[in-house]
Amino acid sequence: MIGGFRLGDKTTEVNTVEEGPAVGLPTLFYRRIDWERVVVLVSAGISTAVCLVGLVAGGFLLVVPLAAAVGSFVLLVRPDSRLWFHAR
């Protein structure tokens, strides 16, 4: 047992579901797929909202992921970033 779960139990399925987008999304980024930029923008916006709610509720450690989400959003909205995605 590892962490209360047997190997081959549902934990391996959950890890596969969580790690799939972590590998797939950067690949689409590298291929300059424009709709993927929109997916990351939406994800960063949702992350920002969740971090703000948690910060108001007293989770002061959420400042770090909040800064990362806002930074990602700001960098993806920049004109040179949009040009990079459209220049195939």
Residue ranges of the domains in the chain?
Answer: 1-31, 32-88
**Rounded distance between C-alpha atoms, residue 31 and residue 25, angstroms:** 10
Instruction: Give the pLDDT score at 2.
Output: 47
Q: Nearest-CA neighbor of 50 among 70, 66, 61, 39? A: 66
* 26-49 confidence digits (pLDDT tens): 777 788 888 888 888 888 899 899
Instruction: Give the pLDDT score at 1.
Output: 44
Q: What angle do CA 15, 63, 44 make, to 5 degrees?
A: 55
